[in-house]
A and B are shown apart, each in its own frame.
Chain A
Amino acid sequence: MQALLAAPLLVPLATACLAALFWGRAAAQRAIGMAGSLVLLAVAALLLREVAAGGRIVGQMGGWPAPFGITLVVDAFAAIMLLITGVMAVSVSLYAMASGARERDRAGFQPLLHSLLLGVCGAFVTGDLFNLYVWFEVMLIASFGLLVLERTPAQIDGGLRYVMLNLVGTTFFLMAVGLIYGLAGTLNLADLARLAPGIANQGALAAAGMLLLVAFGAKAAVFPLFNWLPAAYHTASVPVAAIFAALLTKVGVYAIIRVWTLLFAHDVAFFGPVLGAVAVATMVVGVLGAAAHHDVMRILSFHIISQIGYMLVGVALMTPLAIAGSVFYILHHIIVKANLFLLAGAIRREGGSFALARLGGLWVGAPLLGLLFLVPALSLAGLPPLSGFWAKLMVIRGSIEAGANLVAAAALLVGLLTLYSMVKIWNEAFWKPAPEGAALPAPAMGERAASYAPIVALAGITLAIGLWTEPFARLSLVVAGGLLDREGYIAAVLAPGATHLAGVVP
C-alpha cells in the first residue's frame, strides 16, 4: 500500500530520469516516455479502485509522524485527478509520436514532459502546504522548458510573459506560507485544518488566504490574472499546449479547492462572495475574449479561462452538489480541452494554419476530422447528450439550490457564447470554401494514425461520460462528500499510532 502511494511520484520521476539518460537518442526516449505514461495510468487506476468508495490512503514520508514530516494523502479527489493525468499522459505521448517528434525529442521533450507530470502528481497527493509549493515549482520549471522547446521568437516572447508572471505568483505563495506558518505554527494541511477555526487573528489568516488566492489564481488563470495564458499557450507546440491546457490550470483549481475546503471552510462568509465574483468574472471575460479572436489556438486559450470560472463555483458555494459539479466539470473539461488542442494541431496539418481566415473547406477534405471536432466542441458548449451538458447542469443546479441565481444565469449565458465561438471555428475552418493557396501534402498514414488515435479515444470518453453519466456523477458526489468531511481528513492524517519515529540514529 505504501509503495502504491509513492508510485504516482516515483513513476514519472524514474521515467524522466531514464529518458534523460538516453539524451540525444530520440527513439529510445519516446519508448521510455510511452511506457512511463502507461504505468502511470495503471498506478492511478489501482489507487482509484482503493479509494473510490470514499476512503483515504495516508503515508508519512521517511516515517516522520504527521505534523512534522511530509504527508502524502490520496483520497477520491486526488485519485480521480491522478487517473485523468494518466489518461492525458498516454494521449499526449501517443500524439507526440506524430509530426515533429524527432526534433521535439532531441530538444528534451520526454524528460520535461515527465518532470511536468511529476510536479502535477506531487501537487495532487501532497498533504503539506510547503510541499505543495515545491511541487508547484517542479511543475513550473518543467513548463518553462516545454514552452520554449523550439526556441522560436514567438515562444521566447510568450515564454517571458509566462515566466515573469509566474515568478511573482510563486513568491506570493511563499509569503502566504510564511504568514500561515507564523499564525498556526504548522504547515501540514490536516493540522492546519484542525487549528484554523481557532486562530485568534482571523483577519491575518484571511490576508494570507488572499495571497494564496493570488498565487493559485495566477496558476489557474482566473480573472484578473489570466493575461499570461493567451499570450503564451498559442506559441507552444501542439502536444505541449494540449498538456498545459489539460493540466496546468487545473492544478491551480485543485489547489484552491483543496486548501479552501480544509483551511477556509469556516470562513465562507468572507471567501464565498470573493470566489463567486472571481468565478463569474472569469467565465464572462474569458468567453468574450474567445468571441473576439480569429485564431484557433487563441480561441481555445480564452475558453480555458472561461471554463475555469465554472470550476470555482463549487468552492465559492461550499455545498455538496456545487462541489460535485465542480469536480465533474474538471473531469469533463480536461478531456475535452486537451482533445480540442490536439484537434487544432490536426486542423493545422490538414489546412496549413491556425488562422481562421486562411482555413476553409476542411469538411470536403477531411470529413472525419469535422465529425471528431464536433464532439468536444459541442460538449464544451454544453449540448446534450455530451459530457459538458451534465457538467453544466450540475453546476447550475448546485448554484440555484444554493440561492446563487446570478451565478446560474452567468453560467447559462456563457454557455451560449461558447457555442457561438465553436460555431465560428466550424463555419470558418470546415464549412466555408477553401481560400486561395497551395494545399499541404497529405501527412503519411502512420503519422495520421498516431495523431488521430488519441483524438478518437478522447472523443469516445467524452461520449461515454455523456451517455453513461450515472457512475461519474456518483463518483463526483463521493469526492464532494470527502472534501466536505474535514474531520475525516484530519483524523486520517493525524491518527495516533499510524506511524512511529524511526530508531534514533547514534
Chain B
Amino acid sequence: MELPFALAIGVLVAGAVYMLLARDLPRMLVGFVLLGTAANLLILLAGRVGGMTPPLVAAGMAAPGADAANPLPQALILTAIVIGFGLAAFALMLIVKARAVLGTVRPDEMAAAEPRAGAVSSPPTPPRALPPPRREAA
C-alpha cells in the first residue's frame, strides 16, 4: 500500500507547488488546500496502513479487534482537517474582502502595505470603488 500512497502524496505536493507559485490568491489558496491534503495522507501513511476495520470497541469487549486500523492518525487528521478548513475559510473571506477593498486578487498589484516608490509612506489610499464583477458585466 505504501507505493500508491507515496505517489499520491507526490502528485498532490507537485500540484500544490504549481498552484502556490501562481500570482493569484485564489489559486494559491487551492494550492494550500492540496498541500494540506498531502500532509494528511502523509500522516495516514506514517501511522502504517494496515487494518481496515474501524477502531471501535464492540459491546462487551475490552479492546478493539486485532485488525483494527490505527486510530491515532485518524484523530490527528480529523483535527488537522478541521483546522485547515477553518484557516481556508478565513483566508477565502480575506481574499473576498481584498477584492472588494483593493480591487485585485493578484499580490503583485497590491501596494497598500508596501508602497513601491518613495521612502515616506503615504497615508493609505482611499478604497477604490467596487469594480463590477466580470460575469454580470459581460
Contacts and interface: CB of A to CB of B under 8 A. Distances in A.
Contacts of A488: none
A167 interface: yes
B112 A163 contact: no
Interface in A341-382: 354-355, 357-358
A163 B97 contact: no
A205 B83 CA distance: 25
B98 A182 contact: no
Contacts of A234: 113
B39 A235 contact: no
B36 A171 contact: yes
Interface in B39-82: 39-40, 42-43, 45-48, 62, 72-73, 76, 79-80
A23 interface: no
A259 B27 CA distance: 34
B114 A163 contact: no
Interface residues of B, number: 46
Nearest to A504: B62
Contacts of A155: 113
Contacts of B62: 504
B134 to A, nearest CB: 21
Nearest to B103: A153
A348 to B, nearest CB: 12
Interface in A307-358: 354-355, 357-358
A493 B113 CA distance: 46
A491 B6 CA distance: 37
Given A156-B112, A294-B120, A175 B39 contact: yes
Contacts of B86: 137, 141
Contacts of B73: 181
A183 B48 CA distance: 11
A349 B111 CA distance: 25
Interface in B109-124: 110-114, 119-121, 124
A130 interface: yes
A181 B47 contact: yes
A410 B85 CA distance: 43
Nearest to A137: B83
Interface in A133-158: 133-134, 137, 140-141, 144, 148, 151-158
A178 B46 contact: yes
B42 A175 contact: yes
Contacts of A358: 120
Nearest to B42: A178
A151 B113 contact: no
Contacts of A144: 90, 94
Interface string B8-41: 0000000000001000010010001001101110
Contacts of B111: 157
A160 B95 contact: yes
A232 B80 CA distance: 26
Nearest to A175: B39
Contact of A156 (B46, B47, B88, B101): B101
Nearest to A138: B83
A290 interface: no
A157 B94 contact: no
A209 interface: no
A181 B73 CA distance: 9
Interface of A: 130, 133-134, 137, 140-141, 144, 148, 151-161, 163-164, 167-168, 170-171, 174-175, 177-179, 181-183, 231-232, 234-235, 293-295, 298, 354-355, 357-358, 504
6 contacts: A153-B102, A156-B112, A174-B39, A177-B43, A293-B119, A294-B119
10 closest Cβ contacts across the A-B interface?
A: A182-B46, A178-B43, A158-B113, A153-B112, A157-B113, A157-B112, A178-B42, A174-B39, A154-B112, A178-B46
